[in-house]
Chains A and B, each alone.
Chain A
Amino acid sequence: MDILQILSNTAAQILNPTTIGFVLAAIGLAVHFGFTGLLNMGVAGFMAVGAYGFAISILTFGLPWWVGALIGIGAAVVFALILGIPTLRLRGDYLAVVTIAAAEVVRLLFLTTAFREVTGSADGLSGFHTDFRASNPLPAFSGNVGFGPWTYSRDQWWVIIVGTALVLIVLLFVWALMRSPWGRVIKGIREDEDAVRALGKNVFSFKMQALVVGGVIIALGGIVTAMGTNVNPNVYVTSQTFYIWTALLLGGAATIFGPVLGAVLFWVVRAFLSNLLPALVNIGALPFLSGEQAQMLVFVLIGLALMLIVIFRPQGILGNRKELTFVK
């Protein structure tokens, strides 16, 4: 068992575009759930809409990559409006039911063979990176560059730079929003929307704005993921939504940096376990498991972790300690 290799693989996960996309999605979900109290169970749907909007604009319509990104964002706005208009007037749980169904509808639309020409069906989409990679301002170099476990190719570095910059911009944006009077109304709605309504605030409009803002941030996560890899409908399944929920609750739902910490920790722990458990099986330390079962055990442990967080530390790692006393 090569423990150094395992640790190196684990550390490399931190800058993986998938992790960065995950961080963005978790921040978007924090806007939805942590600050506004919207139970969005369709995170994967928002990510898929962003990623496919990006890829299809480039592949089918031959648009530049940044126009594709804007279209991905626009698609998320439309998706949020479609979900919000019928459900935001109802009690919160209805949004959860509608979003989980809508995310599945979106995934199945991308999966069906009826639109194979555009969506690639089960094969997904690939080969849309040329324009994005051509915009790379880094000096030309070949092979992998970096230090320690973080060595990447020129193309990969470009995705990492764009993704990290987006994370920083989004963090700044969410922080500015949440310390403003707008954020105060949003947090008030989370606590009791009737009370906020009685104070003369248009609760429906505020919830819709929050749904759109969070949805756009989640879609950015999908776009960054698509920049780094291919787009495949099997990624945007319901369990993806629950991974992002786990990451958010781990870090702290109503905090600015909680979703970042939670998402990175989630991927680090997941990478560590997926490297460690099969290695342990190989050296015979877990005689009751096969290699394949060891991979599955990772997800069992993640599920267990989610339960333990919700029961014992509902405010997350970065959440306010005082808040714990008042959790309903």
Chain B
Amino acid sequence: MSSDPTAAVSRPKTTGLHTGDVRPGVAKVDPILIADGVRRHFGGLTAVDVDHVEIPRHAITALIGPNGAGKTTFFNLLTGFDKPNEGEWSFNGRSLSGIPAFRVARLGLVRTFQLTKALGLLTVLDNMKLGATQQRGERFWTSFLPFIWRRQDQEIEAKARDLLVRFKLDAKEADFAASLSGGQRKLLEMARALMSEPELVMLDEPMAGVNPALTESLLEHILDLKDQGMTVLFVEHDMHMVRHIADWVIVMAEGRVVAEGPPDTVMKEQAVIDAYLGAHQDVDLGVVTGRIQGEHTAAEAELLVEIEEVEEGTE
């Protein structure tokens, strides 16, 4: 793959995902995941209160919102890591309510975590091999009979090595995962999730703590997932990244879906800017600092001028 940013920009966005007017809860042409009336209370606080939302298939959907909007809680509910107080949600038309997390993963819906969960004292290769499903050697009674599982284990190992090469982690294969940098752990976690050949990959803040050099390659990997026919849903704070790769954006605030739509339109919606982004936050830090030559909206340009004035004032 290429880490050339111009090549990345050229990839076309998937369009025509919805039917009818763009509004929160709009029906999708081909939804992979549908949530209905999902609510989660923590004491008096309603963390998640989603009336209806559909995730389009074969597309990259971003879930954005301010801190405390309930994005990660919603993730946990969808993947079986937490149980909602009420609500129904289905994956490929199959209801997921009451299904434990490990079964959800087996159905083809895998997730990563905001705080990376690399298995520190396992080698990178073992981390990867753990991701494969339906391993015969994982059954207790056959585990000490290697002739039953050796062939399958070799196939898994070959697949793991392929993925490690794609993610440029092959040189690290014998190292403990604990010795990887934060960004490499993010890559490892994503690669490990792919071992199970999922249909829907849910990434919780894939860019958090990743240095700019790795960001571009991570973005490429996420775009590759779509090319390979997978569906991606990710939570992210980096607006530059959202605009760059997302085909569809869902905005949450205070547990509710307040807006959704294609990235260019949804980020201009006044409701989104007011309720979530504020007046300043839709400018990527990279644009502000001049690291990225971003396309500036009128509001952003105004803000840049403002910032320069403030900076001059302090000097």
- A-B complex is real: yes
Chain A: residues with CB nearer than 8 A to chain B?
173, 176-177, 180-185, 187-188, 190-192, 194-203, 209, 213, 254, 322-323, 325-326, 328
Q: Give the most central of B118, B121, B129, B136: most A CB within 10 Å.
A: B121
Closest to B80 in A: A197
With contact pairs A181-B143, A191-B119 given, residues A198 and B130 touching in the complex (Cβ less than 8 Å): no
Q: Which residues of A contact B110 (CB under 8 A)?
A: 198-200
| Main SS at interface, chain A | helix
Q: Give the most central of A184, A200, A322: most B CB within 10 Å.
A: A200
With A182-B138, A192-B119, A199-B196 already in contact, 15 other A-B pairs whose C-beta atoms are closer than 8 Å: A176-B146, A180-B137, A181-B135, A181-B138, A188-B122, A190-B121, A195-B113, A197-B102, A198-B81, A199-B133, A200-B102, A201-B102, A203-B102, A325-B179, A326-B120
Q: Which residues of B contact A203 (CB under 8 A)?
A: 102
Q: B239 in the interface, Cβ–Cβ < 8 Å?
A: no
Closest to A189 in B: B119
Contact assessment for A182 and B143 in the assembled complex, using a CB-CB cutoff below 8 Å: yes
Q: What are 9 A-to-B residue pairs whose CB atoms are below 8 Å? A: A180-B146, A181-B137, A185-B138, A195-B189, A198-B110, A198-B117, A202-B100, A202-B102, A326-B121
A53 → chain B, closest Cβ, in Å? 22
Q: B40 in the interface, Cβ–Cβ < 8 Å?
A: no
Contact assessment for B140 and A199 in the assembled complex, using a CB-CB cutoff below 8 Å: no
Q: Which residues of B contact A328 (CB under 8 A)?
A: 120
Q: B139 in the interface, Cβ–Cβ < 8 Å?
A: yes
* CB contact between A191 and one of B103, B122, B140 (< 8 Å): that residue: B122
Contact assessment for B122 and A184 in the assembled complex, using a CB-CB cutoff below 8 Å: yes
Contact assessment for B111 and A198 in the assembled complex, using a CB-CB cutoff below 8 Å: yes
Q: Which residues of A contact B179 (CB under 8 A)?
A: 325-326
Within B71-114, the residues touching A (CB, 8 Å) are: 79, 81, 100-103, 105-106, 110-113
A20 → chain B, closest Cβ, in Å? 23
Q: Which residues of B contact A191 (CB under 8 A)?
A: 119-122
Once the chains are docked, how many angstroms separate the CA of A181 from the CA of B138?
5
Q: Give the most central of B81, B102, B135, B176: most A CB within 10 Å.
A: B102
Contact assessment for B143 and A188 in the assembled complex, using a CB-CB cutoff below 8 Å: no
Chain B: residues with CB nearer than 8 A to chain A?
79, 81, 100-103, 105-106, 110-113, 117-122, 126-127, 129-131, 133, 135-140, 143-144, 146, 149, 153, 176, 178-179, 189, 192-193, 195-196
* CB contact between B143 and one of A180, A187, A197, A201 (< 8 Å): that residue: A180
Closest to B134 in A: A200
Contact assessment for B117 and A195 in the assembled complex, using a CB-CB cutoff below 8 Å: yes
Q: Which residues of B contact A326 (CB under 8 A)?
A: 120-121, 176, 178-179
* CB contact between B137 and one of A182, A194, A198 (< 8 Å): that residue: A182
A173 → chain B, closest Cβ, in Å? 7
Once the chains are docked, how many angstroms separate the CA of A183 from the CA of B138?
8
Contact assessment for B120 and A198 in the assembled complex, using a CB-CB cutoff below 8 Å: no
With contact pairs A200-B133, A326-B179 given, residues A182 and B121 touching in the complex (Cβ less than 8 Å): no
* CB contact between A176 and one of B81, B143, B176 (< 8 Å): that residue: B143
Contact assessment for A188 and B178 in the assembled complex, using a CB-CB cutoff below 8 Å: no
Contact assessment for A200 and B119 in the assembled complex, using a CB-CB cutoff below 8 Å: no
Contact assessment for B121 and A181 in the assembled complex, using a CB-CB cutoff below 8 Å: no
Q: Which residues of B contact A198 (CB under 8 A)?
A: 79, 81, 101, 105, 110-113, 117, 193
B82 → chain A, closest Cβ, in Å? 11
Q: Give the most central of A177, A191, A199: most B CB within 10 Å.
A: A199
Q: Which residues of A contact B120 (CB under 8 A)?
A: 191, 326, 328
Q: Give the most central of A195, A198, A203: most B CB within 10 Å.
A: A198
Contact assessment for B176 and A182 in the assembled complex, using a CB-CB cutoff below 8 Å: no
Contact assessment for B138 and A194 in the assembled complex, using a CB-CB cutoff below 8 Å: no
Nearest first, the 5 closest Cβ-Cβ pairs linking A and B are: A181-B137, A182-B143, A195-B117, A200-B105, A176-B144
Q: Which residues of A contact B105 (CB under 8 A)?
A: 197-200
With contact pairs A181-B153, A326-B176 given, residues A200 and B196 touching in the complex (Cβ less than 8 Å): yes
A198 → chain B, closest Cβ, in Å? 5
Contact assessment for A322 and B176 in the assembled complex, using a CB-CB cutoff below 8 Å: yes
Closest to A180 in B: B143
Closest to A323 in B: B121
With contact pairs A176-B144, A180-B146, A199-B192 given, residues A323 and B176 touching in the complex (Cβ less than 8 Å): yes
B121 → chain A, closest Cβ, in Å? 6
